[in-house]
Amino acid sequence: DGGITQSPKYLFRKEGQNVTLSCEQNLNHDAMYWYRQDPGQGLRLIYYSQIVNDFQKGDIAEGYSVSREKKESFPLTVTSAQKNPTAFYLCASSDGRDGSYEQYFGPGTRLTVT
Amino acid sequence: EDKVVQSPLSLVVHEGDTVTLNCSYEVTNFRSLLWYKQEKKAPTFLFMLTSSGIEKKSGRLSSILDKKELFSILNITATQTGDSAIYLCAVDCPTSGTYKYIFGTGTRLKVLA
């Protein structure tokens, strides 16, 4: 089945540790995105990538880093520089062909940093 | 600054009621508006709207876009408890040819039995 997978579903870390969230898609989509969702707020864009080996900062990129070495994979690293890392993280992808820009979302990773 | 505003922020109705959710936007380069339903985890896609005045319909849900007044509405008729969710509106507004989606804060809908 085609789709997007994120792992793990829940992640707990101590303050000061870097942590990497996984996102994989087998939809053959060119574009991938990372969002963060906090209570009472909409999704905020962290990073996005339109093509392999290229990515752009979103609205809240500080304290995060990404890589896009393969089309299928777009891992997000939450560094110790991120001041409020506890949140729900969503990965998405989109095709963009035939005028369709619908995003497909993964199930999300809930990160708790104490 | 591009922005998307949804209203109301939350809504409580009884089964069988009809609800209308609003999404207004101010963006520099509009391409499409999308509605999502988020129940527990990931949002699921409902509609994508690109043209004014053309209603999109799926069962009890329908949506329409007004590009002149810069808003969209999502209607749900004969609501059921399974409609309880957060409804997210997003606008695709690419800059310099790149993808860019702006999301609203969502409307939290609770349908009581």
* Chain A residues within 8 A of B42 when measuring between CB atoms: 90, 105-108
Question: What is the model's pLDDT at position A37?
Answer: 84
Dist CA A10 CA B9 (whole Å): 27
Q: What is the pLDDT of residues A48-70, one digit of tens each?
A: 888 899 998 888 999 999 999 99
**Inter-chain contact A103–B42, Cβ cutoff 8 Å?**
no
Strand-strand pairing, A109-113 and A10-13: parallel
Asked if B44 and A56 come within 8 Å (Cβ–Cβ), the reply is no
- Which residue ranges in chain B fall short of pLDDT 70? 41, 95-99
pLDDT one digit per residue (tens) for chain A, 114 residues: 569 999 888 999 998 899 999 999 999 998 899 999 887 677 888 998 888 999 988 889 999 999 999 999 999 999 988 889 999 999 999 876 544 567 888 888 999 999
Query: B-chain residues within 8 Å CB-CB of A100?
Result: 48
pLDDT of amino acid A95: 79
State how far the Cα of B103 lies from the Cα of B63, in Å rounded to an integer: 17
